[in-house]
């Protein structure tokens, strides 16, 4: 199954989803396609006019361009996802969590899709980390 991870560039979640036999939908893979595409000649300028238009599907023109840009990348992944894992209250160093408006829209789009979703708190200790991995493992093993 395809599992959207939030934060979408979390290497920890990417690895866990892959280890349990699912396909992680992440920012890294989506941007790799854009960077490898001849249409984009200089990363990090990895947004095309089509991406800007695509972003309007998820957020109106009055929404800041950064939010629309993120949603242009993440929105199609959410539509493609069979399930999602969301980490609540992560620190800024854990994936892309710098834009609260984008995060709210991502959570809304996932909820609106009605796909299986796991919300786990960010672990702040070794014991919480073990619980975190156990919850992710149990969720992923339950997907069919």
Q: Which residues contact 124 (CB under 8 A, 6 or more apart)?
A: none
56-111 pLDDT, tens digit each? 888 888 888 778 888 888 899 999 999 999 998 877 766 555 577 788 888 999 99
**From the CB of residue 100, how many other CB atoms can be counted at a distance below 10 Å?**
9
pLDDT band at 30 (very low <50, low <70, confident <90, very high): confident
Q: Output the pTM of the full model.
A: 0.84
pLDDT band at 21 (very low <50, low <70, confident <90, very high): very high
Task: Give me the DSSP letters along 36-73.
Answer: HSTT--STT----HHHHHHHTTTS-TTS-HHHHHHHHH
| Three-class SS state of 96 | coil
The pLDDT value recorded for residue 119 is 96
The pLDDT value recorded for residue 58 is 84
**Does residue 37 carry a pLDDT above 70?**
no
Task: Give the whole-angstrom CA distance, residue 100 versus residue 7.
Answer: 11
């Amino acid at each position: 199954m395809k599992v959207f991870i939030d934060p979408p560039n979390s290497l920890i979640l990417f690895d866990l989803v892959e280890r349990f036999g699912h396909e992680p939908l992440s920012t890294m893979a989506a941007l790799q396609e854009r960077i490898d595409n001849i249409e984009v000649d200089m990363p990090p300028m990895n947004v095309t006019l089509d991406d800007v238009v695509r972003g309007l599907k998820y957020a109106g023109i009055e929404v800041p361009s950064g939010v629309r840009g993120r949603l242009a990348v993440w929105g199609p992944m959410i539509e493609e996802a069979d399930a999602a894992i969301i980490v609540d209250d992560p620190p800024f160093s854990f994936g892309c969590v710098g834009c609260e408006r984008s995060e709210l829209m991502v959570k809304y789009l996932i909820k609106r899709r009605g796909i299986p979703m796991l919300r786990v708190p960010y672990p702040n200790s070794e014991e919480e980390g073990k619980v975190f991995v156990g919850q992710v493992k149990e969720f992923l093993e339950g997907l069919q």
